Amino acid sequence: MKKFSGSFAVTALVAAMSVSGLSQANVTDKDILDDQKTVEDVVSNGMGPRGQRYSPLDMINTATVKDMRPVWSFSFGGEKQRGQESQPMVKDGVMYVTASYSRVFAVDTKTGDELWEYNARLPDGIMPCCDVINRGVALYEDLVIFGTLDAKIVALDAKTGKVKWKKTVADYKEGYSITAAPMVVDGKLITGVSGGEFGIVGKVEAYDAKTGKILWTRPTVEGHMGYIWKDGKKVENGISGGQPGQTWPGDLWKSGGAATWLGGTYDPDTNSLFIGTGNPAPWNSHMRPGDNLFSSSRLAIDPDTGKIKWHFQTTPHDGWDYDGVNELISFDYQEGGKTVKAAATADRNGFMYVLNRTNGDFIRGFPFVDEITWAKGLDKKGRPIYNDTFRPGNPSAGEDGNKGSVVRAVPAFLGGKNWMPMAYSQQTELFYVPSNEWAMDIWNEPTAYKKGAAYLGAGFTIKPTNEEHIGVLRAMDPKTGKEVWRYKNYSPLWGGALTTAGNLVFIGTPEGYLKGFDAKTGELKYEFNTGSGIVGSPITWKQDGEQFISVVSGWGGAVPLWGGEVAKRVKHLNQGGSVWTFKLPKS
């Protein structure tokens, strides 16, 4: 359906009239914890706090999916298109979905009609590194909460779209922004920050979801002090890790990066937030010898206090911008007659890791891409065994001191897997990993920190590693490290996966297709072209006895901005901005 025109005041009036027949959204902590089991709604990013993106629904299955049809499409409208990386939420007959340039829409799930729209008033000078995207909202009680490109958290009334509270998380003039969907744990709104390419200091913060009052803040660069607010007073809550400079030289920890730009997951079993951290700043690793904690790591954080319980660093002394933000997904498996409480993550560096989620111990790790040059493998603790030949050279060793030796590093810095979330099936016990095969020529350059300026100290060119495909959807067995099947895609995959008890896996492609695969064999069972590239994450839910699937369509994100020679492959793709919703015909 086309969106209504007019000012926000008119839109809000339309909203009040349109939702009169719909119940008021009221999302509780129990609703969020039970999200994976309660198929009538989707109230958490990841379709459950663990982020498995698995649904027990099976009406749409390998036998029936061929008959699936679109029932409505909603356009975000206007000229603000660009990349659309949102995961929609659904509650009480209303879909809440974000769009580029920090917009939120409420849509009637029966008709596709707009109920209300909120546009953040973004200032000039915002500095998002990787397109003007937004990955979704959090729902709590009668609020719809999301982050903005100028690093604010905004809570909207779920019925009208009017602002209930707004908080500034960080200064956008320093390079901070927010693109991830926040999450709610026990009434606490948890958010990270973006901006690692600008020398910011990453952090995780908790706010009272109902009022917006800050509860605690935890920096993710070693040496910075965390704080907790008690009775309205700010109290020191311990330094993150060791003392300043322990794994950083000089004062570089003061602008160390480690942005928490993808948000996280939550494990109720251990009461832990699992948050990934981004690259250390600058990219030029010769300027900062040491492990550079807590960059390129997974952190387990106590949601009540903000203290770090344990950390696992996937790329110590990262010199390739491999980050460590990718989602850590909790799952259980049986081994030797015992239940292993595990968590898995597929890293940009090309390795997939299985950890003990109770203490962060390394269980196993294995490549999930076809080529890795920067490391020879992993040691018994999961630490990479570096191949120093493929670390970009030190500029000071060059003839003019302006450029270090160029190396061919694989994967490229956009990663074996980037932000696009994988899915875990409780039915097949496999992970479905959207991945990419590409390499980069990368070199280091001198640089210095300047507030609000790019802080890289590196140059690069990304190249495909073969002519036939870049994207690969892989089914990976976390117990053995074996690839069960793969699907090759000509252009890069940049959207999330969904798996269901109908023995299906869904993913979108930049060519515009929503594709459905047999989860056990990888056989393609369904495809439909939405008219623009898909870089969002599909969801499924049940309404009036029928199963629905929705996905956001709209090409953009980091690939056309940073992709080098890869970007040439996709330059013909059309931008867009819409939500497509599908179901089976009524019998």
3-state secondary structure 216-280: EEEECCCCCEEEEEECCEEEEEEECCCCCCCCCCCCHHHHCECCCCCCEEEECCCCEEEEEECCE
Q: Count other Cβ atoms within 10 Å, centred on residue 119.
A: 16
Q: Which residues contact residue 82 at a Cβ distance below 8 angstroms, ignoring those fewer than 6 apart?
A: 100, 101, 131, 132, 133, 554, 556, 575, 577
Active site residue 113: no
Residue type, 85: E
- Backbone phi, psi, residue 352, to 5°: -105, 140
Q: 473-500 burial, b for 16+ CB within 10 Å, e for fewer?
A: bbbbebbeeebbbebebebbbbbbbbbb
ω before 56 within 30° of 0 (cis)? Answer: no
Side chain identity, residue 510: P
Q: How far is CA 523 from the centre of its chain?
A: 27
CA distance 357 to 46: 18
The active-site residue, picked from 321, 323, 347, 518, is 321
Q: DSSP 3-state assignment of 429?
A: coil
Residue 200 corresponds to which amino acid?
I
How would you class 402 by CB atoms within 10 Å of its CB: exposed for 0-12, middle for 13-18, buried for 19 or more? Answer: exposed
Rounded Cα distance, 468 and 488, in Å: 8
The CA distance from 228 to 222, in Å, is 17
In the beta sheet, which residues pair with residue 308?
301
- Opening angle at CA 46, ends 410 and 101, nearest 5: 80
Which residues share a beta bridge with 398? none
> 99, 132 in Cβ contact below 8 A?
no
Extract the tokens encoding 146: 């999301």
Cα separation, 55 vs 511, in Å, equals 26
Catalytic residues, by residue number, are 321
